[in-house]
Amino acid sequence: MWVDTLFNILTYLVALNVLISIITVFREPRDIAATWAWLLLLIFLPGVGLVLYFFFGRRLPKSRLNRMALQDLIGLEEWVDTQKELFNDDLLTSYFNGNPYQQDLATIFLNNDESILTTNNSLRLIVDGQEKFESLMKDIIAAKDHIHMLYYIFRDDELGKKIIDLLAQKASLGVEVIVLYDALGSNRTHRDAFKAIEKNGGFAKPFFGSAYSFFNFRINFRNHRKIVVIDGKIGYFGGYNIGDEYIGKGKLGYWRDTHVRLTGNAVLNLQSRFFMDWNAVAIESEQLRPSDRYFPKNNESGKTAMQIVTSGPDSEQQIKLGMKKMISTARRYIFIQTPYFIPDESMFESLQLALQSGIDVRLMIPCKPDHVLVYRATEYYAKLLEKLGARVYTYQDGFLHSKSMVVDGQMCTIGTANFDVRSFRLNFEINAFIYDHRVAREMAAHFIEDCRKCHIADAEYFNRQSKWKKFKQAFSRLFSPIL
């Protein structure tokens, strides 16, 4: 008798779990692959699946999405309108020396992301953490009017405190200092860490944080951007966050990343994006308004043409579309560096088509995980790509965190977006698309140099892996739409 009762109770619980799972997943529109992944998780891991969904699966509230979406382009509206009116085949041809693929990409970004094309930029590629932070601190010390800073991770460690102290000093001297940090990425940093800045007249706020800095229940929809703008004339963006691990003092060892120090009118694009992100979380009295001090006339004489492109859950997947377009234009080679390689079906098919067309596709990933489940899925897709003819490298000299792609030594993209679903759909990201053969060839040279510090992950490499590791890779792949 009790067995029948227990069986009935379990039957009702299973049915209830299935019903709750269906209601939970389908009450908000999402990608079909992600829908099925969540259904599998919720149905086969009752209870546990709901806990995971609470942290990873909930959509961003419409009120917050609407507030982000309402942050129209700031400071560059007239410039965008002018470029849209003036952009024609003759003008684009003069910019791109008749390269139709770059012309198409620039037009797409201008029309879809309101990303202006600037051509007077000078940039320095930075692939070492010590060099990046020495350069940044030097520019902070020299700042005259304002320092605007946005980081996904801002640690309260030795490096973080050093930068906070510098910012507080500049604020005390009347320089406007504004720091925006992601509440989840910086959840180990208490808000009190920024009090020195605030006491001296500066501002510091978390992006989409909870009332308690140590509690943040939303894993998705984080601001993964890294932006610094100094006096409207100097900009930084790329993969480095602020923390000791980014100068090689963490458990992963040396940190290989790619960052850019930028001067020229593209800095104004970074400024506009910072304004939009800050205004989305600041109260009205603290919101920024465009003026000549923030958007100064720039007489930089550089020759690099580029566009700053952003994407996130509040907008279309512009960075993904740009990368996909770049892959489709390749005629000789595609070099990709990324710590997380979890492409969706369309991106994987683009790479497959390139390989079938005889394009030299090379992928470089870390040799070790910082997120185990994500890394196993990365290995799975890297193995699939290798089977199709790509050359896969695992970086051995520490941890590879660089997010870049170079095509044919003609154009490249550098920024914060990983080659995965999370960066393409879930997080707020920023990338530069650079139309300069000098910069692209320098990026390709860095890639070739890094290859000397890699192992080749060929068929034998993957075949030697244990059955248990192969199982973990295949299992992790099932959840790739939600990783």
Report pLDDT digits (tens) over 252-295: 999 999 999 999 999 999 999 999 999 999 999 999 999 999 99
Q: Give the pLDDT of residue 315.
A: 67
> Residue 39: its pLDDT value, please?
56
**So what's the pLDDT on residue 195?**
96
Provide the pLDDT for residue 70.
47
Mean pLDDT for 375-397 is: 96
Cβ-Cβ contacts under 8 Å for 256 (sequence gap 6 or more): 127, 395, 397, 398, 399, 400, 401, 402, 450
The residue with greater pLDDT, 88 or 348, is 348
Nearest CA to 402 out of 265, 306, 242, 260 is that of: 260
pLDDT (0 to 100) of residue 104? 85
Lowest mean per-residue pLDDT among 25-29, 102-106, 435-439, 450-454: 25-29
Instruction: Determine the Cα–Cα distance for residues 341 and 328; give it in Å rounded to an integer.
Output: 18
Tens-digit pLDDT profile for residues 422-466: 888 889 999 999 999 999 999 999 999 999 999 999 999 999 999
| Residues labelled as active-site residues | 224, 226, 231, 401, 403, 408
22-36, 311-325, 330-344: which is most confident:
330-344
Residue 213's pLDDT is 47
**Measured on CA atoms in the order 222, 78, 75, 120, is the torsion positive or negative?**
positive
Q: What is the pLDDT of residue 255?
A: 97
Angstrom distance (rounded) from CA 358 to CA 2: 67
Q: Measured between alpha carbons, how far is residue 41 from residues 69, 176, 341, 425, 478 in Å?
A: 31, 48, 22, 20, 10
Mean pLDDT across 114-141 = 95
Residue 162 pLDDT > 90, yes or no? yes
Predicted confidence at residue 60, as pLDDT, reads 54
How many C-beta atoms surround the C-beta of residue 441 within 10 A?
A: 15
pLDDT in tens, 210-254: 544 444 545 667 899 999 999 999 999 999 999 999 999 999 999
Any idea which of 108-112, 219-223, 266-270, 369-373 has the lowest mean pLDDT? 219-223
φ, ψ of residue 200 to 5 degrees: the values are: -100, 15
Please check whether the domain covering 65-306 is classified as CATH 3.40.50.410: no
Which amino acid makes up residue 250? G
Split at pLDDT 50, 70, 90, the class of 351 is very high
**Three-class DSSP category at 51:** helix
If you average pLDDT over residues 341-361, what whole number do you get? 96
Residue 273, classified by CB atoms within 10 Å of its CB into exposed (0-12), middle (13-18) or buried (19+), is buried
Note the pTM of the prediction, 2 decimals: 0.86
Q: Which of 80-89, 241-250, 351-360, 417-426 is least confident?
A: 80-89
Q: What is the pLDDT of residue 10?
A: 45
User: pLDDT confidence of 76, banded at 50, 70, 90?
Assistant: confident
Residues 209, 216 contacting (CB under 8 angstroms) = yes
Give the residue carrying structure tokens 């960066």: 423
42, 54 Cβ separation under 8 angstroms: no
Q: Give the whole-angstrom CA distance, residue 44 versus residue 17.
A: 9
Contacts for 233 with CB less than 8 Å, ≥ 6 apart:
263, 267, 296, 298
Taking residues 165-181, report their average pLDDT. 98
CA distances from 404 to 278, 322, 447 (A): 26, 12, 10
Instruction: Report whether pLDDT(209) > 80.
Output: no
**To the nearest whole number, what is the mean pLDDT of the chain?**
85
Burial of 248 (0-12, 13-18, 19+ CB in 10 A): middle
Kindly indicate whether the domain formed by 318-482 is annotated with CATH number 3.40.30.10: no
